[in-house]
A and B are shown apart, each in its own frame.
Chain A
Amino acid sequence: MDELALTCEQIARWNSRLRKVRILADYLRPLSDADLVRAVRFLCCGPIPAGEGKFSVGGSTLREALRLASGWDAQTLAACYAQVGDTGETVARLMRGIAARRPMSLADAELLYARVFKQRRTVDKVELLRQIYLEHNPETLKFFVKAITGNLRIGLQAKMVEEAVAEATGASLEDVRSANNRAGDLPQVALAARRGTLGEIRARLFHPMEFMLAKPLDAVGDVADPRDWWVEDKYDGFRSQIHAEGDRVAIFTRGLESVTEAFPEIVAAVKGAGQGVVLDGEVLAWRDGRALPFAVLQQRIARRKLTAELAASVPVVFVAYDVLYCDGTMLVDAPLEDRRRAMEKVVAAMPLILIAPQWRVDAHEEIDAAFTAARQRGNEGLVLKRKGSTYEAGRRSGSWLKVKRPHGSLDVVVTAAETGSGRRAIYLSDYTFAVRDGDKYLNVGKAYSGLTDEEVRELTRVLRSVSTDRFGKVTLVRPEVVLEVTFDGVQKSPRHKSGFALRFPRIVRWRRDKRPEEADTLHRVKELYEAATGAGGS
């Protein structure tokens, strides 16, 4: 553990991802098998092995032990913690010069975590932690505690640990990723990578797997031969993964978090799935055989607790379009057609789970027609899926293409701007924009991209000349600059005074030809919202 802590400090002092990975790989390479498993676990999974339970030791327990070990009063301790912002680091800084500096191996750390985990009562956990703090190197305690609080704060993402495992073991990154995606247990994957047995890693359910992503396609004509593709509607819902085995069900979104509680009717529909299945698809608000706009579906997620009225007023379905796992087998490497057949079989017995219809097309005009039809059905556009393609988890490879046309465009007025990061750190490159409401300008969104560097530079100059105030990175400006923005939809927003926010706004161009008085109005935004939600008049 002492070595691991030193390695973490080295990783922290490089911004370069490559260097971080290399430092970690060099550390992992000579470790024994058992230590490799421990190190990877402490780095990205927590103090105890997956499946052994929840290591429920919170910040207050950790800091109470620090109070007792360091002898500092609660007020001083609180002031220190507020300044440091990390429990492990606070422990390290306050135990300096007090702790006995006994070495701690990875095996020692594992044993200590297990002992803390075994304590039932909080007072016993505190006492044990107090002893640990007094005995070991503060530099090591820092990361010993960070592994418990779950954030190392050294700029090391799980993906980088996968890379380091591949580099240290000589296994291919592709294989490490894929095995970790199946099993969600990187420590065991690391061991298998070293032994050359990655292929034997079995899939495990109820941890989110990576989604395959679609590449945007600007024009249908960009597809060389339409006959190479299957065509499906693109739904405007929550991209989700359903894991089901026997009576156990979990729904994960693309942020890889669980939203199971928000959709009990879907859970009920897949319960009793038998052998186990992982479906990929979309949760949609659904009424009278068609999808309701995304803004309607959002109401279901916005509330912490789902009420019966809400469940009734916003009914949902799950539209399945792929299957990653079925009956004990990962299907990601099977061709799309085989997966589809397997999916149809599983879903047949599940109410509320629809299957996304799929078409073959022979000509570009047919894709165009399909697009129009999809839009008429209230869907966002089309997804083209390459015939015979595999499920490329976590990739946006081009085997799936999405065709969607923007919702519309508006002329808006810039009211505030922020400096960007990296190359754009000295330019005002992030713009908050507004629409007109009488003689006022009310914000409806914020956009970052779409202008060339040249334009950003010039716009920065113009905005600085009309700036009225500054708060840190944010510069407020007189409403003078008009931009044309495009977006994917309009939604209600409590954050903006206007009450609305544009979804995924992108800047189309700088309308130097327009005056702020010519910008679009809040009334127009309301119209767009009502047209989309069908809320007009009600």
Chain B
Amino acid sequence: MRVEIEYTPQGIYLPEIDLWLDPQERCENSWISHGHSDHARGLHCTVIATPETLRVYRIRWPEDTETPQDLRCLRYSESMEWRGAILTACRASHILGAAQLLIEYGGERVVYTGDIKLRDSICGAPTEVVPCDRLIIESTFGLPIFHFLGQEEARDRIVEFARECLDDGITPVFAGYPLGRGQEVAHALCQAGIPTGIHGAIARMIPVYEDSGYGFPGWSAYDARATAGKALVVVPGFRATLEASGKNFRMAYVSGWAGLDNARNRAGAEELIPYSDHGDFEELLAMVERSGARHVDVVHGYTEDFARILNGRGKVRAYAPHQAAGRSDSDTLDS
């Protein structure tokens, strides 16, 4: 028997157990896979998520006394009963606290990956490949042109670029998203002993990371008057402000999109460091293969291309639901 899954512009819905997966609007019962703003949104009545994700969710969506909510904490490897199904949170390498959801219902095992990569992140848990019958996977970078660096190489490149600039007397600037990449880059820099100025939007999530054991020795809040000798980690839109300030800086773009040269124009960066919190093409293929799933639903990014490529390789039946693109791309837009 197959679990019924509906793909709608509001998100993915499992009608038999009345559960939404990362819905875009306020819903009754929702699983939230991680804290990016395009996933953790809306004052749902019941929210199921990992403790780290719930904490970020609460920062983004402060409690509203008019709307009582039931926040259910599901730790990694913990299971809970939910309307006749068993839900299990499984580790996902993406950002701190990101999780996949294993749904066991009617004898079928369905895994919803949320946003994910196979290799380890600079910060956050390693991915656990969960054997399943049906896999709902993202394909933000589901084309064979995308190859990314592992976290060790990415760290080295980040630190190397910062040192190269500082030796030249130029301020190194890293554009990172407010949650995830920003903290990872800052963590790599601080750990290497490089004094780092961090933009407020990124800095406000640092306590969440510190509580999970990631250190940021020597970080300070970004201050336009005190940038000498420091590396800066800022949000992507901050480039214009820096330019207008007339500072001598070079910018590095740490992103999956930095895997293409045209990112230089799009992001206005000189140094491209192709490191993402999403899997590259090979990682996505490996995850599909190792899950053992016979059915694969591709829900974000190059869905049709990736599904066609999977089908062309045999072994699995892949499908790209048309209504699945209901959310924005967390790798390009996260605020």
Chain A residues within CB distance 8 Å of chain B:
12-15, 72-73, 75-76, 79-80, 83-86, 89-90, 93-94, 96, 153, 419, 422-427
Contact = CB atoms under 8 A, between A and B. Distances in A.
Interface residues of B, number: 25
A366 B241 CA distance: 52
Contacts of B272: 13
A12 B269 CA distance: 10
B305 A14 contact: no
Given A12-B261, A14-B270, A89-B261, A425 B244 contact: yes
Contacts of A422: 243
A75 to B, nearest CB: 7
A85 B270 contact: no
B88 to A, nearest CB: 35
Nearest to B259: A93
Given A12-B264, A15-B250, A426-B240, 12 more contacts: A13-B272, A79-B302, A83-B145, A86-B261, A89-B260, A93-B146, A93-B259, A94-B144, A153-B261, A422-B243, A423-B244, A425-B239
Given A90-B145, A94-B145, A85 B244 contact: no
24 contacts: A12-B261, A14-B270, A72-B144, A73-B312, A75-B305, A76-B144, A76-B305, A79-B143, A80-B144, A83-B145, A85-B262, A86-B261, A93-B144, A93-B146, A94-B144, A419-B240, A422-B243, A424-B244, A425-B239, A425-B240, A426-B240, A426-B241, A426-B243, A427-B244
B308 interface: yes
B316 interface: no
Given A86-B261, A96-B147, A76 B243 contact: no
A12 B259 CA distance: 14
A153 B261 CA distance: 9
Candidate in B144, B146, B241, B244 with the most chain A CB atoms within 10 angstroms: B144
A73 B145 CA distance: 14
Contacts of B261: 12, 84, 86, 89, 153
A-B pairs, 9 with minimum CB distance: A93-B145, A425-B240, A426-B240, A80-B145, A79-B305, A425-B243, A426-B244, A13-B270, A80-B143
B309 interface: yes
Interface string B295-326: 00000001001001100100000000000000
A425 B309 CA distance: 42
B62 interface: no
A15 B270 contact: yes
A226 B241 CA distance: 49
Interface string B266-296: 0000111000000000000000000000000
A9 B34 CA distance: 36
B246 interface: yes
B18 to A, nearest CB: 37
A76 B307 CA distance: 11
Interface in B137-189: 143-147
Interface string B231-271: 00000000111011010001000000001111010000011
Contacts of A94: 144-145
B262 to A, nearest CB: 6
B270 to A, nearest CB: 5
A427 B305 CA distance: 40
Contacts of A14: 270
Contacts of B264: 12
Nearest to B257: A83
A84 B261 CA distance: 8
A464 to B, nearest CB: 14
B42 to A, nearest CB: 26
A385 B21 CA distance: 76
Contacts of B246: 423
B271 A13 contact: yes
Interface in B15-60: none
Interface in B197-218: none
B164 to A, nearest CB: 10
A426 B143 CA distance: 35
Contacts of B244: 423-427
Nearest to A153: B261
A15 B146 CA distance: 25
Contacts of A73: 312
Contacts of B259: 93
A304 B199 CA distance: 54
Contacts of B240: 419, 425-426
A84 B144 contact: no
Contacts of A72: 144
A96 B274 CA distance: 15
A422 B241 CA distance: 10
A154 to B, nearest CB: 9
A85 to B, nearest CB: 6
A453 to B, nearest CB: 10
A467 B147 CA distance: 42
B144 A423 contact: no
Contact of A83 (B250, B260, B270, B271): B260
Interface string B93-116: 000000000000000000000000
A200 B246 CA distance: 46
Nearest to B242: A425
B270 A84 contact: no
Contacts of B145: 80, 83-84, 90, 93-94
A442 to B, nearest CB: 31
B169 to A, nearest CB: 13
Nearest to B161: A13
A84 B260 contact: yes
A90 B259 CA distance: 11
Contacts of B239: 425
A93 B246 CA distance: 36
A94 B282 CA distance: 12
Nearest to A88: B261
A13 B161 CA distance: 11
A127 to B, nearest CB: 23
A98 to B, nearest CB: 10
A84 B266 CA distance: 12
A167 B206 CA distance: 48
B262 A84 contact: yes
A414 B243 CA distance: 26
Nearest to A75: B308
A423 B243 contact: yes
B239 to A, nearest CB: 8
A83 B191 CA distance: 35
A28 B244 CA distance: 36
B301 to A, nearest CB: 11
A39 B194 CA distance: 39
B45 to A, nearest CB: 35
Contacts of B143: 76, 79-80, 83
A182 to B, nearest CB: 35
Contacts of A80: 143-145
Candidate in A75, A83, A85, A86 with the most chain B CB atoms within 10 angstroms: A83
B311 to A, nearest CB: 11
Contacts of A85: 262
Nearest to A9: B261
A426 B243 CA distance: 9
Nearest to B244: A426
A84 B147 CA distance: 13
